[in-house]
Chains A and B, each alone.
Chain A
């Protein structure tokens, strides 16, 4: 080995020496004949039955990401819609029955006082929003739809200074949260979606007949919101709320659910009282 030479040999030079490892010329004759034979057999031989599948899967694989993401988004939307519709049906079963439309008189608010949110009523069923004395002290923002009763009390304090600064915002948020699903956006993926909801609602209607007469949504929401937002309602509403709190403490008139464990730990009793 010529160690005394000044020339520098690097690892790259040694690797490139492998370029000189080449087959002799006669090798290519054999190579050509073999490859021709293989080529002919490839032309003549029948393609396997799964070759068509592999082509299809090749196309699918090329668009794998877009198919997968589209499927995920579609499933998420369908799931959300279905869940929302199901939840709405459970909340207001009496709304599913098509009653004649009776629109309660709602006093329009001044534009500077509150932005009104009016939802279009669904054509299949509309509900009368009862205006009893419980909620008469509060002006509602009405959202009426097929399976929803959304009546968020709006700050209608006699004196504007007594209103909490963010009360309007909370009321609007609540109204938006209970926003019904519009018909045009309701998916038709599950086919007879409406029939399903109607049948469920009618079945529940028979079971919870006393509840249907109570119109619980507006009343209870008013009771709940009045103590939650100080200075929110009128004096009568606050008095009503305190009265409701007393009644709640005694657990006398309000619907509640009680859970009572039996002597054995392996069973649980759930009772509904009115």
Chain B
């Protein structure tokens, strides 16, 4: 499953999300019954999304890998407590987000970037980069690298909660309701944080916005 398909799946409407939740619940019941290998299917299904969330919150790929693994291990260790009241992916996201928030608060003063490269095989990103630059070769690569750093820099200027909301909504495609469930806050709070975060990002990324 490649990332674009994953994102498409993340952005689908609720009925499909419901079906997905039901299939997840069946796998979770297997794991709870003692089929440890069944958990691998859940890892394979959600590893890219979980890693994406953690990476976009930390802007550090090494930390992101560790935190994503820890999130899966925590979920595995506490899967017997999963009652099925929320969907498994919401529950897993909550574990990942809480672990990341805890890590970020612990290392508030020690943060540095370790960025993945932007893959231009994705048509959406390629189209966007084409619109932003007419350069080719090394010049284009330099511009993309500069834009990426500026983008991550702007994200890191947001507070942890605002960054989390932007990541979950704009990058991972969760709805306001789902973000509220993951972050354990109200939908109004989610909307407010999203609005404020976008205002700040807009002022930071003004040179890249084309009218």
Is B211's CB within 8 Å of the partner chain A? yes
Chain A hits for B151, CB < 8 A: 14-15, 17-18
Q: Per-position contact with B for A28-45: 1 when CB-CB < 8 Å, else 0?
A: 101110110011001100
B55 contacts which of A10, A21, A39, A58 (Cβ < 8 Å)? A21
Is A2's CB within 8 Å of the partner chain B? yes
- How far apart sit A30 and B61, CA to CA, in the bound complex (Å)? 13
Chain B hits for A8, CB < 8 A: 210-211
Whole-angstrom distance between the Cβ of B72 and the nearest chain A Cβ: 6
Chain A hits for B202, CB < 8 A: 11
Whole-angstrom distance between the Cβ of A110 and the nearest chain B Cβ: 63
Chain A hits for B124, CB < 8 A: 16, 19-20
Contact B81 A58 (CB under 8 A): yes
B208 contacts which of A14, A22, A30 (Cβ < 8 Å)? A14
Chain B hits for A11, CB < 8 A: 198, 201-202, 205, 209
Is B120's CB within 8 Å of the partner chain A? yes
Is A7's CB within 8 Å of the partner chain B? yes
Is B116's CB within 8 Å of the partner chain A? yes
Interface positions, chain B 71-101, Cβ under 8 Å from A, are 72-73, 76-77, 81
- A2-B132, A14-B205 as given contacts; A42 in contact with B77, CB under 8 Å: yes
Contact B201 A17 (CB under 8 A): no
Is A257's CB within 8 Å of the partner chain B? no
Contact B210 A12 (CB under 8 A): no
What residue of chain B has the Cβ atom nearest to residue A16's Cβ?
B170
What residue of chain B has the Cβ atom nearest to residue A45's Cβ?
B77
A14 contacts which of B52, B55, B143, B209 (Cβ < 8 Å)? B209
B69 contacts which of A10, A15, A31 (Cβ < 8 Å)? A31
Contact A18 B171 (CB under 8 A): yes
Interface positions, chain B 105-160, Cβ under 8 Å from A, are 115-120, 122, 124-125, 128-129, 131-134, 143, 147-148, 151-152, 155
Contact A34 B125 (CB under 8 A): no
What residue of chain A has the Cβ atom nearest to residue B47's Cβ?
A31
- How far apart sit A14 and B69, CA to CA, in the bound complex (Å)? 28
For this complex, into which size category does the number of interface residues on chain A fall? 20 to 34
Contact B3 A2 (CB under 8 A): no
Is A105's CB within 8 Å of the partner chain B? no
Is B185's CB within 8 Å of the partner chain A? no
Q: Per-position contact with A for B23-64: 1 when CB-CB < 8 Å, else 0?
A: 000000000000010010001000110011001100001000
Whole-angstrom distance between the Cβ of A182 and the nearest chain B Cβ: 44
- A10-B209, A43-B36 as given contacts; A34 in contact with B132, CB under 8 Å: no
A39 contacts which of B51, B76, B211 (Cβ < 8 Å)? B76
- A7-B210, A14-B209, A19-B52 as given contacts; A1 in contact with B171, CB under 8 Å: no
Is B182's CB within 8 Å of the partner chain A? no
Chain B hits for A123, CB < 8 A: none
- How far apart sit A27 and B119, CA to CA, in the bound complex (Å)? 14
- How far apart sit A188 and B134, CA to CA, in the bound complex (Å)? 86
Is A13's CB within 8 Å of the partner chain B? yes
Whole-angstrom distance between the Cβ of B69 and the nearest chain A Cβ: 5
Is B180's CB within 8 Å of the partner chain A? no
- A2-B132, A17-B147 as given contacts; A34 in contact with B205, CB under 8 Å: no
Contact A19 B209 (CB under 8 A): no
Is A270's CB within 8 Å of the partner chain B? no
8 closest cross-chain pairs (CB), A and B: A20-B125, A21-B116, A15-B170, A9-B210, A20-B118, A11-B202, A35-B69, A20-B122
Q: A15-B201, A20-B122 are in contact. List 17 more A-B contacts (CB 8 A).
A: A1-B132, A9-B128, A9-B208, A11-B209, A12-B198, A14-B151, A14-B205, A17-B128, A18-B56, A19-B124, A19-B125, A21-B55, A21-B116, A31-B69, A38-B70, A38-B73, A43-B36
Q: Which residues of A contact B (CB under 8 A)?
A: 1-3, 5, 7-23, 27-28, 30-32, 34-35, 38-39, 42-43, 55, 58
